[in-house]
Amino acid sequence: MSKRLNLREFQQSLSDRMQAKDRTGDQVSTLGILIAGQNWLVDMSDISEVLPLPAMTRVPMSKSWFRGVANVRGNLYCVADMSGYQQKGLLVTNSSNRVLLVAERHGFNAALLVDRVFGLRDARAWQQTVHDGITEYQDGQGTKWKKLDINDLLNESEFLQVGI
């Protein structure tokens, strides 16, 4: 009889295998996401899990882009609407929205609400430029992508100050 894995164990196993391949040079572990109509890339090592939109509890006297807190398997996560945070209007939630849980190594129980997830992308061969401190890519089809640096995001004072 085969051992059953829960979703978190499966995702961790998948992430570990992708990172092992990345270390051998076989694959880059970046996830393609959509935020406010723009394509972004985020390192899989910065994300512990990708979830459908969980139930959230609003927090009074917080900024509009701070959607509230969500209980994920007994742990509370602060959920930030990335469209609203980037001042591009609050996300109208639907079934394609996803929440990215920030990896535990960053020391924040933060979750990023995004429009949708496209899946893994290999940007190693894409054209790369840097504008205003943001790395930008252009894939083989001419689609533009930006790099979302989780560490930089978590160090922004605006992101850390959710109260009004």
The tens digit of pLDDT for each residue in 87-119 reads 999 999 999 999 999 999 999 999 999 999 999
Stated as kind and residue range, the H or E segment containing 154 is: helix 150-154
In the prediction, which pLDDT does 2 show?
47
Mean pLDDT of each 10-residue bin along the chain, 164 residues long: 61 69 62 96 95 95 96 96 95 94 94 96 90 90 95 95 92
Domains of the chain in sequence order: 7-160 (2.40.50.180)
> What is the DSSP secondary-structure string of 10-75?
HHHHHHHHHHHHHHTTS---EEEEEETTEEEEEEGGGEEEEEE---EE--TTB-TTEEEEEEETTE
Q: What's the pTM?
A: 0.81
Which pLDDT does position 18 carry in this prediction?
Answer: 64
